[in-house]
Structure 1
């Protein structure tokens, strides 16, 4: 088995990132759930991160895909709810595959990108204590797997 792309301190792994058309989401391995969508939102060279009040870390905005909704709908909804920013125009970027501890379960995440046109004020909410415009430098409590997804989506398609 190939080495993971990245691993966090809990042992969770980013195993793969597949670029392709959004229609590929309809042809996934049915034994691996696709429970969430993530958004890599950028403005003026910085990526918008949220500080998750429960996990106590900086991570990409996103969340669970509600029953009957698409990954795209979940990405737009969760981004706006968590960040207080306007709902973005998003583009499908790819599919992340994770192996999560403690039970080594596999999960997919649909990853979208957004070129944000501005920066709106933020008010803390039930999930998020703060937002940050991240320039790629080292910061404390950064979600390692999300940071790697940011790096991958910023790379030319041929590198992925």
Structure 2
């Protein structure tokens, strides 16, 4: 496991990851926690998607829409980005970031779902490819080290 804080190639920092109960999310509004991520586990692997706009592998997830809860955003983003349609998500963690473009401090809800079989994944505007990454192996240079560390910790520790 990498030590925190962990910085990516553009200067974003993963400050902390806390394993917590969903009731803790009530203390965050959609400005302080605008993002939900999903760790999709299959055996000992984590699903990573290639974000064509950013050019690197990352976890499925994205921004909350107005009035949307972190859970609702995770369910919607997972379906939009991968084609996986499920409501069987468990809150795994809250992560804390220092982001650079624009400079801001924010949190994300991280959910986990475990699959029994390889799903049919759908390439789309947001995800141009998919891979199953084994967390005990080093992330590739084109993989977000922040997302890799979140995926590793959620799969191995939650």
TM-score by length of 1: 0.87
Correspondences of 1:13-92 after superposition (within 5 Å):
13-28=13-28, 33-92=32-91
User: 1:57-92 deviations in whole A, cap 9, x for unaligned?
Assistant: 100000111111110011011111111223251100
**Unmatched 5+ residue regions in structure 1?**
none
Following TM superposition, by how much is the alpha carbon of 1:145 offset from its aligned partner in structure 2, in angstroms? 0.5
Q: How many correspondences in the alignment?
A: 154
Change (3 A) 1:70 1:20: same
Secondary structure of the residue aligned to 1:128 is coil
Change (3 A) 1:121 1:4: same
Secondary structure of the residue aligned to 2:128 is strand
Per the alignment, residue 133 of structure 1 pairs with 132
Change (3 A) 1:88 1:41: farther
Following TM superposition, by how much is the alpha carbon of 1:128 offset from its aligned partner in structure 2, in angstroms? 0.8
Structure 1, 61-70 or 120-129: larger mean CA deviation: 120-129
Per the alignment, residue 97 of structure 1 pairs with 96
Change (3 A) 1:46 1:88: farther
Per the alignment, residue 119 of structure 1 pairs with 118
Q: Please, what is the CA RMSD of the aligned residues?
A: 2.0
Per the alignment, residue 9 of structure 1 pairs with 9
Q: Is the 8 A contact 1:77 1:87 kept in 2?
A: no
**Unmatched 5+ residue regions in structure 2?**
none
Structure 1, 42-51 or 112-121: larger mean CA deviation: 112-121
